[in-house]
Each structure stands twice: as structure tokens, then as C-alpha cells.
Amino acid sequence: MARALEEFTNEPPLDFAREEARSAMAGALAEMRARLPLLAGPIIAGKRLEMAGETEIRSPSDLNLLVGRCAMGGAAEANQAIGAAEQAFPTWSRAPAPERTSIFLRAADELRRRRLEFAALEVFECAKPWREADADVCEAIDFIHYYAREALRLSEPRPMQPQIPGERNDLSWHPLGVTAVIGPWNFPLAIPVGMMSAAALAGNTVVWKPAEQSPLVVALMMELLERAGLPAGVVNLLPGRGEDAGQTLLDSPRVRMVAFTGSKEVGLHILRACAGVPVGQPFVKRTVIEMGGKNAMIVDASADLDAALIDILASAFGYSGQKCSALSRLIAHEEIYDPLVERLREGAASLKIAPAWEPGCQLGPLIDAAARAKTEGYIGQGRAAERSIYVGEAGELAARGHFVAPAIFDGLPVEHPVVQEEIFGPVLVVLRARSFEEALAIANDTPYGLTGGVHSRTPAHLELARERFECGNLYLNRGTTGAIVGRQPFGGTKLSGIGAKTGGPEYLQQFMISRATSENLMRHGYAPIKGEVV
């Protein structure tokens, strides 16, 4: 029996300024640490596969801490998962939408009860600081609730207008088939759960591949879904490497759709792979691809610099810059450039670098050694240009984990790699503009188009930004990160991705096919089914 759904409301984050919230989170961290290391692996058709060999997942904050071990599936397991999803599709796709939503809402209720457990695991596995980890769990809950309501809305045919006498015209929505969901590590629960729940609530069956760096929290969510009553084979967990398990999903003529969030390089590879139509594939594979950004914030001459500084630091260095929405280019009007740069230098130097489990952590480590090496390489390029505003030091923490201190550069030419390329680390470049129009031109001079921001107290400039800023999400007089489901549907343009915005009213439709039906009601006579009582 489906339950009646109230109007959608967002899950409120915890206020860690309150003692009871801090105490609860500290307790959850202690309990989770006592459970480590966790074990994970493929779950296909409701069965946990026994596999030889496991990958160790170590905490980015302290490489001596073993968070868990995960068996990674390959091509054989990917094909097995596709087969299980195929077998489950006929029954799941025909299940009434209220039945599907009830299962997922039970899972969301349980996730709400266990939110600190999941947040604690993110702190250890992905080095999410307290607020970031809690917010990620809240967003996962939001996605399920928002998409459940959308699934119910789309389950009823929509009468088309104008209707005319003697004819019925409507538009209905139907699931596609087997969907591969390939998630990122930087929002290790929210984004994978959002893509997976959208696909499954729409009536599709799913092969769910988490990022190699963050399979444990997704595996914990998979167990929760099973306890909520999700039938075997509807969602099949496939931790694995992109070059074998992931590539098998892309190449399979039995996979109807691929949903991905991650880097531009991988996203474009997925688009190329899915564009082909191999023998035996009777459809063009659909894709929803969210990629990266080289996001800009403009600080106008009229801006409140105190408010701007808070938003700059949070947007550039929150989660160590490891967000596709993170601020990486700050464009300041020349009238306020020098005082803003001085405040920015002091603000960056005041950030507390610490392991993610410390409550005062403002800047934790990067996710792995490759990310650290890449970021340090860009910092080296900025140093070589002798344009440093501030380059911090991680100290002894750098020997324990993947810590990189924040770095800020100015005066670099617009074609410089630090200005143009996505870094995914705590690196910010400051650029000077002589006018607001020039600042907009600099902001738009990038192949990306994800988020943008403006700090200004000039209404005409805010309106100009609304018209001309080339980005998917524009933030005026606030930070450029932290989009909220329903309130700020999220997604970019240009090389930042394709598809409708996640957490918005069009997102679920991408996982379905629309069918227009026209019926002539002026029929002659009536032919009942044999045995039907007329």
C-alpha cells in the first residue's frame, strides 16, 4: 500500500554549533571506527559474489587507517549484472509507480535514521569534513523523496490540449530498460543515489557502479535498499574499474542508457562509446553526462567585501576544492582588487588543515595520490610563473595523508593552464577586470559552463549577469557551491555536461520514453473480452 506524499521539503542539515549535534557525530565516528575495516563486493540478483582478491580502501586523512576492502568486478561480473537487470526489468517496469516509490521511501526513512552512520563512513572513506558528510547524506534523502514524487506525477497520462470531441489525446511516460549508473567519489552517496533512484523509480533496472575510491558507502546503501524490500536484480551493485567493468557497460548492446557524473575526459569517452550502434543493439543509447567546471566568481566594485570573502573561501576551498561547482577563477574589479587580495591572503592562511574527522577541519586531504600529484603539479606551474599570492604548507600532515595546502595566484595570462584547466584541488587564480562587462567576458572565456557567481550591489550588473553569464547555475551574492534539490536544480552547459538538471522537474523524464497516444472515440459497436460481464 503506497503512502500519501506530502509536499516535498528538504532534509535539514545538522547544526554542529549545538553540543548535542557534535556529541552525536563524535559518537557515530567512534562507533564506525570500531567497525573498520568494512567489506564490500558485487551484489548481483540479490547475491553477494565470492571473488578472489580485494582492493584496500585507506583513509585519505591517514593512510595507516584501513577503512575497508572491496572485491572489484570485471567484464564477466558486468555481463552477469546486465543479465540480472534484464531479467528483472519486465516485472519491475510494470509494477505500479506507488509500489516502487514505497520501497524507496522506506529506504529514505531508514537512511534518515542512520544518517550519522553514513556520514561517519564518508568521513573515513572520502575525507569529507563533518558538515560536508552530513550534507551529502541529506542530499541523498532529498533525491529519493523528490524523484518519488516525480515518478508518481509521470505515472499518470497527461491529457494534451486542445482536446476535440470524439478523440482522446494524451502523453504517457514509460521506462527505457537496463541503465548503467556510474557515480563519482566526491559526493559519494548523494550523486550515486540520485542517479540510481531516478533510474529505478522511473521503472528501469540498474547496474550501479560506484567510483573506485568510494565503494563502501554505496555498498552500505545497497544493503539498506535490500532491507527496504527492493526485489533482487532491480539494482545490481558492481564495484569495479573503469577500463574493464565500466567499459563493458558502455559497449553492451543490452544497456539502454548510461548516467554518469565525473571528469570531462571520462564523460567525453562515454559519449563517444555510446554514440556507436553495435550489431544487435536496436536503439541509440541514451546518456546523461555531468562533467566538470572551471567556475568563476565576479566581485564587482560595489560588492560587500566582507560577505564576498566568506563565500570565496567556502566556494574555493570547501572539501579542498574537490567539487565540480568549486570556485577556481576569481575575477575582481580593479577598484577593489588590492584590498580583496590582501583579505584573501589572510583568509586562506587562517584555514585549519586537519584530518576530516576533527570537528574543526576546514580543509582536509585530497582523495588519493594521483589527485595530490596533479594538484601539486599545477601549484608548481603557478610558482614557476612567480605569481603567488599565497601558497600554504600542509606540514607533517602531508606525510600521513594526501594533504595539499591552499594556493592562490594572480597575474597569470588567461591562456595559462592554471587559468583554463580543471584542477579539482585547493587552487584559486585571481584575475583583474577594468569593468563589469570585461569581467563577464573573462568569466565566459572557458570551454566549461557549470557554475558562476557574482558579488555586486549594483542591480543593473546583476541583471546583466542573468542575461550573459554562460553557466548552468548562477549564484548572486552567495557562494557557488551547495545546490539544494528542488530549490537549485543543478547542471551545466558547454563542456560541463548534457542533460536536464539533477534535482529538477525535468530530470526523471530522461530515464523514460514518452508516448503520444491518439484514440478515435467514435467507434461503432462494442466487442467485450470473452468472459467479460457487460
471 assigned to active site: no
Which residues pair with residue 167 across a beta bridge?
520
Under a CB-based contact definition with an 8 Å cutoff, are residues 25 and 120 in contact?
yes
Residue 484 DSSP one-character state: -
Q: Which of 117, 108, 175, 93 is nearest to 144 (CA)?
A: 108
Q: C-alpha 146: how far from its chain's center? A: 15
Residue tagged active-site, from 324, 421, 422, 471: 324
Burial class (CB in 10 A: 0-12, 13-18, 19+), 458: middle
* 209 SS3 class: strand
110 in catalytic set: no
What distance lies between CA 351 and its chain's CA centroid?
Answer: 25
Identify the CA nearest to 251 among candidates 278, 230, 217.
278
Rounded Cα distance between 495 and 499, Å, is 12
Torsion angle of alpha carbons 211, 216, 220, 223, nearest 10°? 80
Q: Which amino acid is it at 132?
A: E
Closest listed residue to residue 211, CA positions, set 243, 248, 193, 184: 184
Show the DSSP H helices in 351-391 as ranges. Answer: 369-384
Sheet arrangement for strand 43-44:
47-48, 43-44, 235-237, 205-209, 178-182, 257-261, 286-290, 497-498
Marked catalytic residue, from 290, 361, 421, 471: 290
Q: Does residue 218 contact residue 72 with C-beta atoms inside 8 Å?
A: no
Secondary structure class of 426 (helix, strand, coil): coil
With a CB cutoff of 8 Å and minimum separation 6, the contacts of 239 are 40, 41, 42, 70, 71, 72, 73, 209, 210, 212, 215, 218, 219, 245
State how far the Cα of 513 lies from the Cα of 175, in Å rounded to an integer: 6
Q: Among 291, 290, 308, 286, which residue's Cα sits nearest to residue 299?
A: 308
- The answer to whether residues 183 and 192 touch, using CB atoms and an 8 Å cutoff, is yes
- In terms of C-beta density within 10 A (0-12 exposed, 13-18 middle, 19 or more buried), how is residue 33 classed? middle
**Burial status of residue 46 (CB atoms within 10 A of its CB: 0-12, 13-18, 19 or more):** middle
| CA-based end-to-end distance of the chain | 30
Q: Which residues are catalytic?
A: 290, 324
